[in-house]
Amino acid sequence: MERVEVRMPHLGVSVTEGTVLAWRVAPGATVAADEPGLLADYFPLRAPAAYFLCTYTPQDAEPYSYELNRWHRPPVAAMEGVRWVDTNMAYRVEGDAVQFYDYTDGQLVELPHRLEFPLEPGGTWVYTTQEGRTALAAVDCLDGVTVPYGTHDGCYRVAFIEQGVGEWTLVLAPGHGVVREWGELYGVCSWECKLVRYDEAANPADVGNKNR
């Protein structure tokens, strides 16, 4: 039988080796190099808080940076298993999909942004927003994505483009989920966030935004 080297994903600057705990394919099954990404690999609901360094650039003002802390559960008792994406957006794993939500005035409102797994490299789909606008989503693969929390291979880049409104791009790394994101509201602002670290002992009550 031919032996094939399996390259492990880069898990961060402090991790140098790892152990295979489980196989998701049967013995002897064929695994393609570009096999679609599975939900459990790219949206793990990790318990610690994740810290991102973000830069916000208003159209008519100077850019500024702040630290964004994301916990796996916002203060909404009825929405278990929810994680932050940014200050007013969250997501929740629902079966084999990831549903995004707007977070306003203590309430989560379902958004049209939704990812169906497994992700297919080169896949695109068109959908209609609640306001009736046409939007496009596209998926491709990336290696060598570097953020303050290390360099990551085997990533997926997912871009959402809403006609006449703006665009939003996520980079998903295996074992971490979102490690980088950027976006733009046309004529208003742009932003970028990069994963910096995790805090295993974080308290959800302390999670928030800290301007720098």
Exposed e or buried b per residue across 177-207, where buried means at least 16 C-beta atoms within 10 angstroms of its C-beta: bbbbbbbbeeeebbbbbbbbebeeebeeeeb
Q: What is the mean pLDDT of the chain?
A: 76
- The confidence score (pLDDT) of residue 87 equals 60
Compute the C-alpha angle 176/180/182, nearest 5°. Answer: 150
What digits encode the pLDDT tens for the residues 56-103?
999 999 999 988 777 655 455 556 667 766 567 778 888 888 888 887
Amino acid sitting at position 22: A
Whole-angstrom Cα distance, residue 84 to residue 82?
7
The reported pLDDT for the residue numbered 36 is: 62
pLDDT at 206: 45
209 SS3 class: strand
Give pLDDT, residue 56. Answer: 93
- Confidence at residue 12, expressed as pLDDT on a 0 to 100 scale: 45
Q: What is the pLDDT of residue 212?
A: 37
**What are 117-131's pLDDT values in tens digits?**
888 888 888 888 877
Q: Are the beta carbons of 198 and 48 closer than 8 angstroms?
A: yes
Residue 16 has pLDDT above 80, yes or no: no
pLDDT for the residue numbered 140: 92
Between residues 72 and 137, which one has the greater pLDDT? 137
> pLDDT tier at 159 (50, 70, 90 boundaries)?
very high
The DSSP result for 26-58, as a single string, is -TT----TTPPBPHHHH----SSEEEEEEEEEE
Beta bridge partners of 167: 161, 184
The pLDDT tens digits of the residues spanning 176-212 come to: 888 999 999 999 999 999 999 887 665 544 444 443 3
**pLDDT score recorded for residue 79:** 62
Whether the model clears a pTM of 0.85, i.e. scores above it, the answer is no
